[in-house]
Amino acid sequence: MDAREQRGMELAATRKIQNKGKGVWIVPSQAGPGAYTVNTSGDEPTCSCPDHENRGSKCKHIFAAYYVMKRERNPDGSTTVTESLTVETRKTYPQNWPAYNAAQVAEKDRFQVLLRDLCSGIPASYAETW
């Protein structure tokens, strides 16, 4: 696998590649905000990127379109439609670990004081019947 194939695989895995039908794909640029049109319907695939136009061989955008086509075609000949999913991340807050650790260390001592205060109102004769 050469460098263009690897970059094409990366494009297919990380970017949304749109199928416009009849072998036409819109592949986003890996380096900038633009996108290129890939046509896979003819004998030789074509791409509107400068790399393909200058060299005349398969570019990373063509490889990306082929990887997506291969991924969406099932062994029985049917195709799979891939849809985007937006995942919300859970908001996390910073933890004051020194204060948390100090509270954990003092927790048993504080509990002992509260328990003594709670039990101090119980008469000794009543406590002996337990």
Label residue 79 exposed, middle or buried (CB < 10 Å: 0-12, 13-18, 19+).
Answer: exposed
Cα gap 130→85, rounded to integer Å: 63
Side chain identity, residue 3: A
Instruction: Give yes or no for residue 125 having a pLDDT over 80.
Output: no
pTM over 0.75: no
pLDDT tens, 5-21? Answer: 888 888 888 888 998 98
